Structure 1
Amino acid sequence: MSSPLIVLFRSDLRLADHPALAMAARSGRPVIPVFVFDTGNRHAMPGAAGRWWLHHSLQNLSAALERLGSRLILRRGNASRILPDLIRETGAGGVLASQSHEPRQRAVERLAASRGAALKLYAGNHLFEPGSVVTGAGGPYRIFTPFHKACLAAEPPARPIAAPDRLATPAAWPVSETLEAWGLRALDPDRAGGLGQTWQPGETGATARLETFLDSAAAAYDGARDMPARDGTSMLSPHLHFGEISARQVWDAAIHHPDAGSGGMAAFLRQLVWRDFACHLMHHFPDITHRPLRPEFEAFPWDHDESALRAWQRGTTGYPIVDAAMRQLWRTGWMHNRTRMVAASFLVKDLRLDWRLGAQWFLETLVDADAASNSCGWQWVAGCGTDAAPYFRVFNPALQARKFDPEGRYVRRWIPELAEVPNQYVAAPWTMTPGCREAMGLRLGQSYPNRIVDHAEARKRALAAFGRMTGQ
């Protein structure tokens, strides 16, 4: 029997449109599917919500492989050491994997290769591979709009490929650890219940989510995506992050859908390209996760207020739209995109806390905690990225609530304390008269918190700090 091939699964926990797996299957050689829970870099470990999702996604992948007569081998440890050990243990003739552009994964690849682990990498996790779309001068795009135009003018993404219908198996399987032993599902009961009610991790869940979105919400996406009380977004981000569905599959299904010509579908496809843009930036600027892309922001005078940070994390700032967003995040591991911007702006502008604190909290609590997209989003809001909103663009949380949640349905869903507050006050309950609050049973500072800052004053302080940094 010819030597087996190891297929290393990483952020591509699926069978369909998996070029590395397809190539291994076509070779006719025995295939050993492997997932390594990489503990080599503790700073890059997934947060609690991500670990919960990973458990269920690996469970789904393992079952899918078993239906092909195969199995998933699980190992935990430093991937750069485990891969050479597995090659020696199995006599594998090589390792096939999807190309990764996360700095830690690229470091693992280099170290593994230096130790004799022959890696063959395949594109497949992006529409346009990072580094493949460059300016006329050959450099990286730093602004999204010209990047988007260049992508649309480039060769279109390849059609997705089918999942293999069988995998040849080795004469002997290597030892596998058990998923349960990893303890990935450890969450507070209220969080685990919220995640379980909201999500169906795995390739099957990803496909169902895509079909539901395309058939029911995609055509109206351009308007509905800003309204957090509506089911107007795809909620595909965690499925894409874990690679349970590929961006090419999503793109292909969208452009061949009956609503492909709608403005909503065009807006949705633009968001898929934005995901590529974030990875493109991290490919060229690997420090994006912890250093501002605009270097002058290294000297920004951030405040240090632990109590304010805790209030933001717990959804007790006294600003309903912010608190609703943070409670949704804690309960479901996800937050609507509009409220992500509002909550992030509140942290870095109203509270003047370092954007990296917010980025780290999102990495801990989001099920779609993608390092590139998360960092780019926070730098955009903080005004320190290359494609940034100006720092002086400060979201007013009450105005944002009135505009995008005019009936208060989103706020009331996550803050039941405000259930009886009239629509005209639910965005800013402090504007009610004491008598009206008493009639509604609302006691600010007791049943619902007082505002921890005054937005108008906080905005002045933020702009003054920005002026000091720039010398204006």
Structure 2
Amino acid sequence: MQTVVWFRRDLRIQDNKALYHACRDLGQDELILLFQANPEQFIEDSPNHQAFFASVGYFKEKIDEQAQLQVMVGEPVELFKKLKKQLPDWQRIYYNEDTSGFGAERDQAAEEFFKENEITSHAYQDAYLHGADEIKNQQGEHYKVFTPYHKKWAEQTKETPLKVDFQPQAVQQKVLFPKDEEQFKKLLEKLPENQRPLGEAAAKKRLEKFIKNSVKDYQKSRDIPSLDQTSHLSRFLRTGEISIRTVWQLVEAATSSEGRKVFQQELCWRDFYNMIYSFAPKQKNQPLQDQFQHIKWENDVALFDCWKEGQTGFPIVDAAMRQLQTTGWMHNRLRMIVASFLTKDLLIDWRWGEQYFQKMLIDYDPASNIGGWQWAASTGTDAVPYFRIFNPTTQSERFDQKGEFIREYVTELANVPNKFIHQPESLSKEEQEEYGVILGEDYPKPIVDHKERRKQAISMYEASKEFARETSEGKQKDD
């Protein structure tokens, strides 16, 4: 008989719940290690896509040194039918579940197949410190506001990492689907070279470096892009190259500090957004606050292109967007600034921005990124009020005081002195020539007037609220 371990976004051996339990329960079964690549999820020319499959390729390379990771390409249920035909004695499957988005729908369809074919399935909550259904209020309901959620979350005991007794000799060594393997190999060959550090060892090293050098002062340094003192763990958590329990354990063991406390709160935000997404699955396409369903976004394509290319005339926004294009990553403070700018200054639908981030970010996580866009657009639960709008210039002055980050990515402004770096449009013609940047030629003038757009944004949100109120009152009268 065969036992299958189905890998998805848990690309590691150690502290992998599904693999741990499969190895513990294995008995005399043959172990099949499986990864499915679903073309429906591929994103063309996407750093996100490229980074994820680089990690899968590396994981397979490491597994194949001692065992065999089977790869299948196609729609999951159809692939399971193929697998069952190939392995009629297959009776058990272990995997780490998804509770939101596409992953939840895939798991539900797979479970129906397992039931129909009398395959015993074992699914585990592996990706979060606390799963979507674990933290509830006194009424047994899910929290809608972060602060009380965090208070309850902090009281709960956190699981410790599991030591997996991996048994390579029990793994099926033969390649079961050679054509799929070849197709996957061709996919990997198309990936850009020199992908980031990959695998469990690299993730652990990154974590240890963060704890040693940065976590103590995290609360002070995390908002300063030029310092680059954030953990950079999100990309490894996204692929599961490190477990969230390992992160918690090592951070918890670090010397107590305000920085450690703030970082642990960030891990709580991660659980919170996953909980929200799991119980509001339509939030990828719909505002969580019904009153903001009627916003009439301007959706100017030319302005959207300026935002994507880092050509808005607002240096901090442009530096952030160019960092994203160059590295596939963006500093967290900058994510908030550019998201607010897109929705509140350019008056462009937050879903446009979320989709662009999905394509470009190597650490894209649907729950946290959608949550972030709903926050920026003031359409989600626990959102910043719509009338509190980031001023990109004051944000720049506060978090990149000397313009170090701006100069790194907006090289046109390299010679501009500090007093002009946040508002180069204030340079006189003589100063532009002196510092080697002609506005409108070398670097754009601001594409919008922030003060005017702020007024428009507030008016736009209030109009949506009013329409929602009138519609609701009209329905009540009809009833």
TM-score (normalizing by structure 2)? 0.91
Cα deviation, residue 71, structure 1? 1.1
Cα deviation, residue 92, structure 1? 1.7
Q: Aligned-residue CA RMSD in angstroms? A: 1.8
Counterpart of 1:150?
152
> 1:48, 1:186 within 8 Å by CA — same for their partners in 2?
no
Could you give the per-residue CA deviations for residues 371-406 of structure 1, whole angstroms, max 9, x where no partner exists? Answer: 111100000111000110011111111111110000
> 1:80, 1:109 within 8 Å by CA — same for their partners in 2?
no
From 78, 83, 90, the counterpart of 1:81 = 78
Structure 1 window deviating more from structure 2 (125-134 vs 45-54): it is 45-54
> 2:299, 2:348 within 8 Å by CA — same for their partners in 1?
yes
Counterpart of 1:457?
452
Whole-angstrom CA distance in 2 between matches of 1:267 and 1:456: 33
Counterpart of 1:96?
94
Alignment partner of 1:288 is 2:283: yes
> 2:150, 2:268 within 8 Å by CA — same for their partners in 1?
yes
Could you give the per-residue CA deviations for residues 411-439 of structure 1, whole angstroms, max 9, x where no partner exists? Answer: 00011110000011111101122211111
> 1:209, 1:235 within 8 Å by CA — same for their partners in 2?
yes
> 2:48, 2:361 within 8 Å by CA — same for their partners in 1?
yes
TM-score (normalizing by structure 1)? 0.93
Could you give the per-residue CA deviations for residues 292-348 of structure 1, whole angstroms, max 9, x where no partner exists? Answer: 000111101110210000000111011000000000001111100111010001100
AA paired with 1:202?
G
Counterpart of 2:3?
5
Cα deviation, residue 94, structure 1? 1.6
AA paired with 2:30?
P
5+ residue gaps, structure 1: none
Could you give the per-residue CA deviations for residues 203-237 of structure 1, whole angstroms, max 9, x where no partner exists? Answer: 22211111110111010101100000012100111
Alignment partner of 1:373 is 2:368: yes
Whole-angstrom CA distance in 2 between matches of 1:8 and 1:325: 37
Counterpart of 1:399?
394
From 207, 215, 236, the counterpart of 1:218 = 215
> 1:318, 1:448 within 8 Å by CA — same for their partners in 2?
yes
5+ residue gaps, structure 2: 468-479
Whole-angstrom CA distance in 1 between matches of 2:142 and 2:262: 24
Residue 339 of structure 2 aligns to a residue in which SS?
helix
Which residues in structure 2 correspond to 1:225-374 (within 5 Å)? 225-257=222-254, 259=255, 261-374=256-369
- The 1:47–1:368 alpha-carbon spacing in structure 2 relative to 1, beyond 3 Å, is farther
Cα deviation, residue 178, structure 1? 3.5
Counterpart of 1:183?
187
Cα deviation, residue 201, structure 1? 2.5
Whole-angstrom CA distance in 2 between matches of 1:179 and 1:77: 11
Q: How many equivalent residue pairs? A: 457
- The 1:385–1:134 alpha-carbon spacing in structure 2 relative to 1, beyond 3 Å, is same
Structure 1 window deviating more from structure 2 (100-109 vs 222-231): it is 100-109
AA paired with 2:160?
R
Whole-angstrom CA distance in 2 between matches of 1:450 and 1:178: 51
> 1:55, 1:185 within 8 Å by CA — same for their partners in 2?
no
From 50, 53, 56, the counterpart of 1:52 = 50
Which residues in structure 2 correspond to 1:105-120 (within 5 Å)? 105-115=103-113, 116=116, 118=119, 119-120=121-122
Residue 90 of structure 2 aligns to a residue in which SS?
coil
Residue 93 of structure 1 aligns to a residue in which SS?
strand
Structure 1 window deviating more from structure 2 (103-112 vs 419-428): it is 103-112
Cα deviation, residue 59, structure 1? 2.1
Cα deviation, residue 56, structure 1? 1.9
Cα deviation, residue 55, structure 1? 2.3
- The 1:182–1:296 alpha-carbon spacing in structure 2 relative to 1, beyond 3 Å, is farther
AA paired with 2:249?
D
From 108, 118, 126, the counterpart of 2:128 = 126
Counterpart of 2:162?
161
- The 1:184–1:446 alpha-carbon spacing in structure 2 relative to 1, beyond 3 Å, is farther
Whole-angstrom CA distance in 2 between matches of 1:173 and 1:343: 46
Structure 1 window deviating more from structure 2 (23-32 vs 293-302): it is 23-32
AA paired with 2:165?
P
> 2:98, 2:107 within 8 Å by CA — same for their partners in 1?
no
- Percent identity at matched positions? 34
Structure 1 window deviating more from structure 2 (128-137 vs 53-62): it is 53-62
AA paired with 1:93?
Q
> 1:4, 1:30 within 8 Å by CA — same for their partners in 2?
yes
Cα deviation, residue 172, structure 1? 4.6
> 1:47, 1:363 within 8 Å by CA — same for their partners in 2?
no
Cα deviation, residue 186, structure 1? 4.6
Counterpart of 2:411?
416
- The 1:235–1:203 alpha-carbon spacing in structure 2 relative to 1, beyond 3 Å, is same
> 2:73, 2:183 within 8 Å by CA — same for their partners in 1?
no
Whole-angstrom CA distance in 1 between matches of 2:124 and 2:182: 28
Cα deviation, residue 47, structure 1? 7.1
From 10, 18, 21, the counterpart of 1:20 = 18
